[in-house]
Structures are given as C-alpha cells and as structure tokens.
C-alpha cells in the first residue's frame, strides 16, 4: 500500500460515508486521462478486526449502488442484498467487515458525469472521461488503501460486480484472498453489447438528452432512459419467469382495447420499471457504465489468453452461474473456470438451478446462499479467521 | 454428508486415502459430495480439488467448503496443466466415461500418479451370469439394467492392464477388492484376480 499523500478523512451522514481520493495522486484511467480528486461514496457493515483480515468488498452491478443493506435514499426500498447481510446471515456482520462503494461514473455519490467538473464549474456531461471496469477497480483499491486494508478476505459481486471481481483478482492477486464472481463473464458478449447499444441509442434519441447537456438545460431524458431500462430489464429475466409472472394477462381490463395503451400486464410492469428507474439513475451515467462493461475483455487485456490473467494466482475462487441466465450464461462462467483450471487455481464452480434468469443473484435462492456460506466458511478456515472474525464479539 | 460428519469413510475410499501421501495435491474426479477430499484435507493436510458431474454433489461439496467444480472427466481434464497434481483419483467412474483411454492419458499427464478403481467385468459371477442366463449381468456392484446403466465402457482387469501397457503406464500397485470394497487375499491384480476380484484398485504412474 503506497500512501504518500495526506490521509483523507471519510465523512459520514445519513446517506453513508464519503471520502475524497486522489487529490495529490490522481487516478490514471485506461483512456490516459488523469482523474482527481475523486469523490467516493461507500457504506460499511460490521467491524474491521485488529489484524484487518476480515474485510469483504462487495461490488455492485450496473444500476446498483452502495446501499447493500440500507433502505435506498430515493426509493426507500430495502438494500439490494439486504437478505444476505446481517448477523448470522451469508455475509455475517458479526464476523466480516463489509465494504461497498458506488462505482466510478456512478450517480449515487461517487464522481460521475452528473457531477461538476472542478475545472469548469459545469457538470461533466460527455466531457467525463470514458471509464473501464479496470478504472472502477483502481478507485476501489484506493478506497481499500484509505481504509488501511492490505488484503481483502473476499471480493464478491454479481453481473458487472462479477466483472470487477475478476479484474480485482487479475490486477491485485495478492490483495484478494478469495473471489466470488457471480453471474458474470470475463468479457461482454456481442449480444450484450448489442443490448447496451439499444439502451444508449434510446437515451441519445430523446430530445431532452440535449447532446448530453441536459443538466445545463434543466431537463432530463426520462423517456429515453426509461426505454433503455425497459429493454435491459427484459434481459434480466427469463422467458419462463416472465410467463409465470404475467402470461398474456391483461392489465385492469377484460378485453384488448385495439390501441397502444398497456393492455398487457407485462407492458404495464415494464413501463413501471422504466418510470421508477429514471428517479434514481442518471442517463449519462448509464451511457458511461454500460460502455465500461462493453469494453471489458479480460483475455484481450492479457495477450488474448484468459488463463494469463490468473497465472500464479493463490486466490480461492468460487464461480457461480444460474441455469436460466441468458445474459451471462453458464458458458461464460465455465470459460472462466477453464482458464482458472489451466493455471491449476483453487476454484469451485456451481451452476445454480433457477428459473429467475440473470436477476437470480439478487433474489431468494437458498441453494445459492448455501453455496456462498459454505465457500466463505471454507475460505475463512484457510485464512485462519476465528468464528467471530476476530472482532472480539 | 454423513460420511463426513461422523468421521468415517467408505471402505474403498479409505483404501484410496491410505495411498495418498500427506500434504500432496490431489484432484478427485467424480468426487461426489467430497467425502474423500474432506477426509484427506482434515487428516492428511492435502490440497484437494474435485470435479463432479451432479449438481447436487457439487452443491453439497462447495457448501461444505471444498473446492469442487461442476464438470466431467471427458471434457474438463484437458484444461489442467501437466504435472499440476501429485495424485489424480478416479474412483468407480472410468467405466462411465465416453473415452476411458483419453481420460486415463489426461490423468497421468496432469498427475504424477493416478489412482483408479473400477468394477471388474471379468469376475466369475459376471461370467457365470452371462453364460447361464444369457443376459447382461446385474449384480451388487453392477446394479443397473443394460438400458439405464451409466456404465458404458465396462472392462475386465485384464483389459485394463492391456490398456495401461499400450499407454506406457506403470502399474505401481494393484489391489483386488471384494464386493464390499474389502481387500482380497490375493497379492495383486495379476492372474486369478481377474476371476475373483469384484473391483480392481490401481496406483499408476507414467513410465520413465
């Protein structure tokens, strides 16, 4: 850990913790831009033990945030993994110290395109540098430095969070004792890039987007962002899940109306998903973060051979996929497992039977939770973590 | 995992466990719920990994803190680098693989040694069954009808020894077992073992 700059202090308020990083030592982004200072909003749960060995970094997905187990400040809904976090739960707060930060480019407190560029006093908008998964991880690593933690006991995340997990394991192998990439991939597939492009085009086609300068214009491209969310939301579910939930059921009516109103429940549901999403998410953030996922290709970054990303690794991996996930299908997880096998890494791999699609990692899946608990248990035994995590409880 | 929690290990797995040196690196192919890996880890300090076909087995093993992947011997062994393990174990599974010859070659490529056990189709009871009844044998160790058996490549001990010779594999040790997995009072799997052993257990290494 190099900590030449003055130690920044975190501030806490009702919305969580916040710290400014990289004021004296800017963060060099993959695109070549030096970015700093960077505000990082984060949340912690549990207590760091004396030898700082019980920290788990949770990486959130595309539209997630650091409110893992707190009510969301805008929607008021429970945190996205609140079922998994708490005393005696999968991520046992009596045992582990959990950290989750809003990603770089995000819109929930960490520096992103909706924040003001200090140099101009105007919102960054499209002048914000294009970021990568690797850049997000660099910022997280600075936060972990700031918290005085050399090695994370575990880095875990689903979807884009799982991409960050893989990037962590490749960039900082000595700092990652165990890694759990869930419903993830080592690269974004052509199909996934295609879906993202549809979402971005929907945003940019909205006149209220104003070439990215909507904040200066006092507007928001709500319609475009809502369509982007609707399209993306379909990819998070499975066909059986959609069918089970809605079938061809009509919405508050007995017959079709021969019009373009939301006749079907599934339409109404998607419109609701779209319209609530725009209250909590920034359109330009959506452009930047989807782009970061598109650019992710861990094999390409390592001479075209995915196994090179993990050569010599001592990290214990647990790769998890879900049977009905067609956005990040099991074959993508299996490719990661094959690469890890090729370097004789310590890896577990479980494909969880679920009909809930990609979103299964956010939902109540007992077998998934048992897998996480068991893997963490095994890793904790190898790390020599006492049952109370050494937190002295 | 009853076998794990009460500290006992199935008798044939115990025999295999006794063949593994403490502190070695082990890959258990077809590890089930990981009873052998768990035992080796706890009592011999072995760095163990497993491959298992059934999701239920993988799930149980990983939930128990073991390093096990969902996969199968036919497709997943090719990924591993040469010499990655001290032992590669294949217990009662060789006859269920599509390409036993390739599987065996890979085992001895990625492991310094291979430990293999399989049911012996040359046992006198099997021969008698086929001779007298003219039907595919269904016995305690081969408890399937021909149409639902996962065992698609049966062999006799003699067949197996021929294959080892073909592949340039050294049989370091062989143990004939009865139907309960107990050692028979026959010194090795050579000769009459092919008639009297229900199973054969072999420790193999690469020649040279």
Q: Report which of A84, A91, A57, A1 is spatially closest to residue A389, judged by C-alpha positions.
A: A91
Tokens read off for A23? 């004021």
CATH number for the segment(s) A11-187+298-383: 3.40.50.1820
Closest in A344, A350, A370 to B70, CB measured: A350
Give residue A281's pLDDT.
97
Check residue A393 and give its pLDDT.
56
Q: Give the chain B residue whose CA is nearest to the CA of A352.
A: B55
Q: Which of chain B's residues have a Cβ under 8 Å away from the Cβ of A367?
A: 59
**Which residue ranges does chain A devote to CATH 1.10.1740.110?**
192-291
| Residue B18 Cα, gap to closest chain A Cα (Å) | 24
Q: Could B65 and A338 be called an inter-chain contact, meaning their C-beta atoms sit closer than 8 Å?
A: no
Sequence-ordered list of residues with C-beta below 8 angstroms from that of B21, at least 6 positions apart, any chain: B44, B86
> A11-25, A182-196, B11-25, B28-42: lowest mean pLDDT where?
A11-25
Q: Given this model, what pLDDT does residue B3 score?
A: 39
B57, B63, B75, B87, best to mutate vs chain A, most A CBs in 10 Å: B63
As annotated, the residues of chain A forming the CATH 3.40.50.1820 domain(s) are 11-187+298-383
Nearest-angstrom CA–CA distance, B86 and B103: 16
A-chain residues within 8 Å CB-CB of B71? 337, 349
B55 closest CB neighbour out of A316, A347, A351: A351
- The pLDDT value recorded for residue A109 is 96
Q: What is the pLDDT of residue B187?
A: 86
Hey, are the CB atoms on A350 and B58 less than 8 Å from each other?
A: yes
Number of domains in chain B: 1
Which of B63, B84, B85 has its CB closest to that of A370?
B63
CB contact under 8 Å between A343 and B81, yes or no, is yes
Nearest chain A CA: its distance from B33 CA (Å): 13
Distance from CA of A337 to the nearest CA of B (A): 8
CB pairs under 8 A between A and B: 66
Model pLDDT, residue B180? 87
Q: What is the mean pLDDT of residues A86-108?
A: 97
Report the distance separating Cα A118 and Cα A137, nearest Å: 23
Instruction: Name the strand (E) or helix (H) holding B125.
Output: helix B124-133
- What pLDDT is stored for residue A386 in this prediction? 86
Helix (H) or strand (E) holding A170: helix A160-171
**Residue B205 confidence (pLDDT):** 97
For A134-160, how does the pLDDT look when each residue is reduced to its tens digit (9 = 90+)? Answer: 999 999 999 999 999 999 999 999 999
pLDDT of residue B2: 35
CA distance B11 to chain A (A): 26
Q: What is the mean pLDDT of chain A?
A: 95
List all residues 6 or more positions away from A24 whose beta carbon is below 8 Å from its beta carbon.
Answer: A4, A5, A6, A36
Question: What pLDDT sits at residue A392?
Answer: 62
- Contact yes or no for A257/A263 (Cβ under 8 A): yes
| pLDDT score of A14 | 65
Question: Which domain covers residue B39, as residue numbers?
Answer: 2-206
Q: Which residues of B touch A316 (CB under 8 A)?
A: 67
Cβ contacts of A374 on chain B, cutoff 8 Å: 62-65
| CATH number assigned to the domain comprising residue B202 | 3.40.50.150
Tokens of A281: 């998410």
Q: pTM of whole model > 0.90?
A: yes
CA distance A45 to A66: 11
Inspect the interface and report whether the beta carbons of A350 and B59 lie closer than 8 Å.
Answer: yes
Q: Is B106 on the interface with A (CB under 8 A)?
A: no
pLDDT for A159:
98
Q: How far is CA B147 from the centre of its chain?
A: 23
Q: Closest to A374 (Cβ–Cβ): which among B49, B62, B79? A: B62
**Average pLDDT rounded to a whole number, residues A206-230:** 97
Record the tokens describing residue A125, joined without a space.
């908008």
Q: What is the pLDDT of residue B208?
A: 60
Chain B residue with minimal CA distance to A338? B79
- Active-site residues of A, by number, are 159, 325, 358
Model confidence at A6: pLDDT above 60? no
| Residues of chain B where predicted confidence (pLDDT) is lower than 50 | 1-6
Question: B 32-71 residues with CB below 8 A of A?
Answer: 47, 49, 55, 58-59, 61-71
pLDDT in tens, A319-376: 999 999 999 999 999 999 999 999 999 999 999 999 999 999 999 999 999 999 999 9
Tell me which of A90, A340, A374, A381 to substitute to probe the interface with B (most B C-beta atoms closer than 10 Å): A374
pLDDT tens-place string over residues A99-130: 999 999 999 999 999 999 988 999 999 999 99
Q: How far is CA B48 from CA A96, A393, B3, B28, in A?
A: 26, 32, 17, 7
Residue A67 and residue A79 in contact, taking contact as beta carbons nearer than 8 Å: yes
Tell me the chain A residues in contact with residue B55 when contact means C-beta distances shorter than 8 Å: 350-351, 353
- Alpha-carbon dihedral of residues A377, B47, B37, B158, nearest 10 degrees? 160
Distance (Å, rounded) from C-alpha B16 to C-alpha A59?
42
Least CA distance to A380: which residue of chain B?
A: B65
- ipTM computed for the complex: 0.89
CATH fold of A192-291: Rna Polymerase Sigma Factor; Chain: A (1.10.1740)
Contact B204, B116 (CB under 8 A): yes
């Amino acid at each position: 850990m190099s900590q030449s700059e003055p130690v920044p202090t975190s501030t806490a308020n009702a919305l969580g913790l916040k710290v400014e990083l990289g004021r004296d030592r800017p963060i060099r982004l993959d695109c070549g831009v030096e970015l700093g200072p960077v505000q990082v909003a984060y949340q912690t749960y549990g207590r760091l033990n004396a030898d700082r060995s019980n920290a788990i970094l949770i990486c959130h997905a595309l539209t997630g945030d650091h409110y893992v187990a707190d009510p969301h400040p805008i929607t008021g809904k429970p945190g996205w993994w609140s079922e998994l976090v708490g005393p005696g739960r999968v991520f046992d707060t009596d045992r582990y110290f959990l950290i989750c930060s809003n990603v770089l480019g995000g819109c929930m407190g960490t520096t992103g395109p909706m924040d003001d560029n200090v140099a101009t006093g105007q919102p960054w908008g499209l002048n914000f540098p294009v970021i990568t998964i690797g850049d997000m991880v660099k910022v997280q690593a600075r936060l972990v430095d700031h918290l005085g933690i050399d090695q994370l006991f575990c880095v875990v995340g689903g979807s884009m969070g799982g991409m960050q997990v893989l990037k962590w394991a490749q960039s900082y192998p000595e700092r990652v004792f165990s890694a759990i990439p869930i419903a993830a991939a080592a690269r974004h597939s052509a199909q996934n890039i295609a879906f993202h492009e549809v979402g971005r085009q929907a945003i940019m086609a909205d006149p209220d987007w104003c070439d990215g300068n909507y904040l200066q214009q006092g507007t928001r491209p709500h319609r475009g962002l809502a369509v982007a969310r609707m399209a993306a939301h379909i990819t998070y579910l499975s066909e059986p899940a959609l069918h089970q939930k809605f079938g061809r059921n009509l919405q508050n009516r007995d017959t079709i109306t021969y019009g373009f109103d939301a006749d079907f429940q599934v339409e109404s549901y998607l419109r609701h998903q779209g319209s609530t999403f725009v209250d909590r998410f920034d359109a330009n953030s959506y452009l930047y973060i989807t782009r970061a996922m598109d650019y992710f290709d861990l094999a390409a970054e390592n001479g075209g051979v995915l196994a090179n990303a993990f050569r010599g690794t001592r990290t214990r991996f647990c790769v998890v996929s879900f049977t009905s996930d067609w956005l990040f299908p099991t074959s993508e997880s299996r490719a990661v497992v094959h690469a890890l096998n090729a370097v004789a890494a310590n890896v577990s791999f479980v494909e969880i039977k679920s009909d809930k699609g990609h979103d299964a990692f956010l939902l109540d899946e007992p077998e998934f939770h048992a897998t996480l608990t068991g893997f963490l248990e095994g890793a904790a035994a190898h790390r020599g973590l006492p049952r109370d995590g050494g937190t002295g409880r | 995992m009853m076998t794990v929690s009460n500290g006992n290990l199935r008798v044939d797995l115990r025999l295999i466990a006794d063949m593994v040196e403490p502190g070695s690196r082990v890959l258990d192919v077809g590890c089930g719920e990981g009873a052998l890996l768990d035992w080796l880890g706890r009592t011999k300090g072995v760095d163990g990994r497993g491959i298992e076909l059934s999701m239920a087995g993988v799930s149980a093993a990983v939930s128990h803190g073991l390093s096990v992947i969902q996969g199968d011997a036919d497709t997943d062994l090719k990924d591993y680098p040469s010499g990655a393990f001290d032992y590669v174990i294949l217990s009662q599974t060789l006859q269920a693989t599509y390409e036993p010859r390739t599987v065996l070659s890979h085992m001895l490529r990625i492991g310094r040694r291979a430990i293999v056990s399989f049911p012996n189709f040359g046992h006198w009871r099997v021969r008698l069954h086929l001779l007298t009844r003219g039907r595919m044998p269904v016995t305690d160790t081969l408890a399937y009808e021909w149409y639902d058996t996962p065992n698609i490549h049966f062999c006799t001990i003699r067949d197996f020894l021929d294959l080892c010779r073909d592949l340039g594999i050294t049989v370091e040790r062989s143990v004939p077992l009865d139907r309960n997995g107990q050692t028979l009072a026959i010194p090795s799997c050579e000769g009459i073992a092919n008639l009297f052993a229900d199973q054969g257990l072999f420790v193999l290494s690469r020649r040279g």
